[in-house]
Chains A and B, each alone.
Chain A
Amino acid sequence: MPSLSIHAGGLDLANPVLLAAGILGTTGASLCRAARSGAGGVVTKSVGSTPREGHPGPCIVAVQGGLLNAMGLPNPSYRNFQEEIDAARLAGVPVIASIFGSSPAEFAQIARSLKADAFELNLSCPHAEKFGSELGRYPDMVESVTGAVKAAADVPVWVKLTPNTADILELGLAAQRGGASAVVAINTLKAMAIDIESGYPILGNRFGGLSGPAIKPVAVRCAYDLASQLEIPVIGVGGISSWEDAAEMIMAGARAVQVGTALQDGYGIFKDIASGLERYLERKSMSLEDLCGLAWRGKQH
């Protein structure tokens, strides 16, 4: 079988299929379970500097083609999170800590205080006031947050980008200037759903972020634009639910992929994607490297 191991964003991964941030990442035990189910790496739930309970419910709405969520960044603060990261690391795959803050200094403080294999900067959550995409839609802010964390941390820094912008490439270039080891694209698309019986927006926060198969073509386009223009690698995320989706994302130029919403069908998704990719590469007599960015052929730079 062809090898799926890959070096991406400063990490050595046994396979390119990772657990995405915000999915089953609150406890060390659930992160371990994802790793033992075949994830090549796991990203934690985002942690900030103070405990947050998140938004009132409903926090999730099933819509056609995916899920709409507004969790509201619930987290126990980084001060109560190291033990979960340490427990997750026992599974033997890289543990990437997702962190959020409202300023470069706040991000840097968290990065200085946590030990993880890498950091993923949440500059893209679309539904939390003062955090996420409220900073991450400004290229200058993306650059300065990335620079501040880079200076504070001695591990790779990944930057998760928002698609809720006119030009995601500008955000990717800003992350690269700030010293990021990779960009992760994309976070959820800002969205809402209304209960027609009552007229209430269903989410407790009124609006939230759309994930799942509905956003995959958007994510593929973002990965394609970013990967063909940046020097740092792109980690592709958004609606990946099968090995075919993963292959498509890698052809768009992603070095690795993350899976989130598809976990609602079970932890088996990691092995399904990895074994499907292996069989595909064998059938095509290709390596993972060959696949990466194949869709750029004929593109004028």
Chain B
Amino acid sequence: MNGVGPTLAFYALAGVTLIAGGGVMASRNLLHAVLFLILSFVGIAGFFALLSAEFIAMAQVIIYVGAISVLVLFAVLLTPRAGRNNGETKMLAPAVLLAISLAAVFIFVITDTDWPTVATSPSLTASDLGEALLTTWVLPFELASVLLTAALVGAIMLVRTVEEEAEDALA
């Protein structure tokens, strides 16, 4: 990927995404952590656009930035008093150590491997994606809808209170 524009965009997006990820790690207030998480999701959406996966970038903005972050925000607001002054567990030092060593291994492998790459970007459009989803991957595609339905029903069942269940039993 040559040129000043894509390179600048890459480093700007990398900075935003990684700094926001570090913000999630550092914030003790969960609301701030959610806001950093949203920023990180936006950065990832920018990466998808930069890698010419426009449909995935749109889906990322709609599903992650729009839906999942609102879901997380709701969960933070529905658990009052739990969202503030969150320390880390005593596993902080081992976790950071593990993450750093894993990052070192990853970076070693990435720089050491001679990746065979294509010179020009493959032209992939949303219609290619749709065709692949509805021909080769049609069974996982249908299973995904079953999974989403099951998750929807499960989430509703989990958050219902005993009184609500008793009311429904009477009706």
The answer to whether A and B interact is no
Binding site for B on A (CB under 8 A): none
